[in-house]
Structure 1
Amino acid sequence: MLKNINLKASGGWFIAITGALLFSTKAIFVKLAFQHTHVSALHLLVLRMLFSMPFYVFAGLYSHQKATQKITQKQWLLIAIMGLLGYYLSSLFDFIGLQYVSAGLERLILFLYPTFTVLINTFILKTRLKRIQIIALILTYLGIGIAFLGEVQIDTSNAYFYYGAFMVFLCAITYSIYLSGSGKLVPIIGPTPYTAYVMLFATGGVFLHFLLTAHTTTLAFFDPNLVLYGIALAIVATVLPSFLLNIGMKKVGSNNIAIITSIGPVSTILQAHFFLNEPILMLQILGTLLVIIGVLLTGLKNSI
């Protein structure tokens, strides 16, 4: 029995890691789209949600047909709030920020959201913080601090740098609230229907924002390069990781997800170096190693 439990936890850990790695490609696709096209953050976000929407519609309809219990009005309200926070506002803040800061720095700022999530779970939702999670957080954020020292050596002369950094900071806050709320809702509703529903609410928020604020110059949507980036963002960086992370959350809990997904920003820093020619320094490498050690600790039995 104990062996089966450990195997289940290990499977959840592996699923969450895979989702985090796929999700980490988002910043790379966004930066490449900004470099190679003249798209705005909102237009790019619309494309991301447009191409991912059919998958969530299908998943939502399938889940609705298979559902054995009815979702209450309060749960629908919470799902809507989580969708608007987690994949509408968070994504919008993040895409805006990526116009002005490097992909590596964006991920370093987003490293803050596991701390926010754990604090929310511990002090507001009254979830017990286990010793292994404390050790993992200490190692992870020690690594983040060291990596940040290397990142600040990158040129920050652009006038909108602090604005971009602040937008990413807002993304970290809203996404941490989403993770905390999802940790309570996923076990009740199920990872597949929950993912589908929150993403559809987020898509509605993005489309409404676009309709209310966008100009009539929508011909840019037909740029072949932009369409390819939109598809990559939708499938590789949105659909697959969103389902994988919520499945992993059901198996290992939102506290562990918050720590596990720290490997995603590390992955982005490495990808940014190879695909965007962003510099990577020895301090970043040392910080990366400490973060990976902290993440690996979450795969251990949590009874320490």
Structure 2
Amino acid sequence: MNKSATAVAAHSTPRPALLAGLTLAISGAVLFSAKAVLAKLMYRYQVDAVTVLAFRMLFSLPVFAAVAFWKMRTEAPLSPADRWRLVFLGVIGYYLSSYLDFLGLQFISVGLERLILFLTPTFVLLITSVFLKRHISRIEWLALLVSYCGIVLVFVHDLHGGAGSTAIGALLVLGSALSYAVYLLMSGEMVRRIGSLRLVAYAMCVSSVVCIGQFFVLRPVSMLVQPAAVYWYSLANGIFCTVLPVFMTMIAVQRIGASTASQAGMIGPVSTLFLGALVLGEPITAVQVGGTAMVLAGIYMLSKKK
């Protein structure tokens, strides 16, 4: 769809539907960003990333499995090749990216974590440029420069809390963003063929099995017994910060389009910054606000270019 067609489509959307779509997109972004805050709260109970991730998937798996079963009963079966692609996408897109993300959160603030993850579109752009020989325009280079300067600003600011641990955490979350960028690039063609709901449900089921299996391989069964607060946080992480944001974002895209929904989702890093201050007591400084603004400006420039 070209730019004029997109503008006409957006303009023709009834105001109530537009507001409902924006509300869903913003709410989904805030809820998804809140997973970092919940993970930090669980770390206070001496649980690690393997346990946090496994508990998150234990609570979200039943919902995704129900959707996957429904799709299996109502749609044509997948080819063996597509099944293997989905397994790979589930491993790299949701397991690996989530695992690296939760590992990194043990070392850095939720604000820096969310900003690094928000760079995923820039990684998609760079990967397509290097491997698919896509031309990057001047405005896109400027957007990349602004975004990465914002990250460097916040990263340097956070180094005072421990240079070694901050660097390790940032690199882990960077790996998370890169793996998810690869997932987005590889899933594009499959989304068009089998639909986003089916792909997400199947990939999340694969990811859940891997995450839960990893827990039982690396941790004793006794670690399933945790304080009640860990279960409640895990339930919220699995349902409110995983399942609901996925479906809310998908519905928002259907109502207002991917471009508008992605721009509304820019509230995510801002909400994480304030949630971190409100719930975790992480300070908000002028440097963090400035760096966040730069990252959001760069991503906005990329979204407008697209």
TM-score bracket, shorter-length normalisation: 0.7 to 0.9
Partner of residue 131, structure 2: 124
Work out the percentage of aligned pairs sharing the same amino acid.
34
State the shift of 1:225 in Å.
0.5
State the shift of 1:7 in Å.
5.0
> Residue 61 of structure 1: which of 48, 69, 74 is its match?
69
Offset from partner CA, 1:79-132 (integer Å, 9 cap, x none): 111111122111111212222222223223334433222222344356676777
Q: 1:219 to 1:120 in 2, by over 3 A?
A: closer
Partner of residue 150, structure 2: 143
State the shift of 1:70 in Å.
3.7
Partner of residue 89, structure 1: 96
What's the TM-score, normalizing by structure 2? 0.81
State the shift of 1:236 in Å.
1.7
* Alignment length (residue pairs): 294
State the shift of 1:252 in Å.
2.9
> Residue 27 of structure 1: which of 25, 36, 54 is its match?
36
What's the TM-score, normalizing by structure 1? 0.81
Contact 1:183 1:249 in 2 (8 A): no
Contact 1:270 1:280 in 2 (8 A): yes
State the shift of 1:162 in Å.
3.7
State the shift of 1:227 in Å.
0.8
- Is the counterpart of residue 242 in structure 1 residue 246 in structure 2? yes
Correspondence list, 1:145-294, <5 A: 145-152=152-159, 154-156=160-162, 160-221=165-226, 223-245=227-249, 251-252=257-258, 263-294=267-298
Taking the aligned partners of 1:18 and 1:179, their CA distance within structure 2 comes to 22
Taking the aligned partners of 1:8 and 1:59, their CA distance within structure 2 comes to 32
> Residue 72 of structure 1: which of 68, 79, 86 is its match?
79
Q: 1:190 to 1:131 in 2, by over 3 A?
A: farther
Q: C-alpha root-mean-square deviation of aligned residues, in Å?
A: 3.3
Taking the aligned partners of 1:21 and 1:236, their CA distance within structure 2 comes to 10
Structure 2: segments with no counterpart, 5+ residues:
none
Structure 1: segments with no counterpart, 5+ residues:
none
Taking the aligned partners of 1:263 and 1:44, their CA distance within structure 2 comes to 25
Which shows bigger deviation, 241-250 or 25-34? 241-250
Contact 1:106 1:168 in 2 (8 A): yes
Offset from partner CA, 1:118-154 (integer Å, 9 cap, x none): 22234435667677766654544443344334333x4
Taking the aligned partners of 2:155 and 2:125, their CA distance within structure 1 comes to 21
Taking the aligned partners of 1:5 and 1:241, their CA distance within structure 2 comes to 24
Taking the aligned partners of 2:77 and 2:139, their CA distance within structure 1 comes to 37
| SS of match in other structure, 1:71 | coil
Instruction: Give the number of the structure whose residues are more often helix, by fraction.
Output: 2
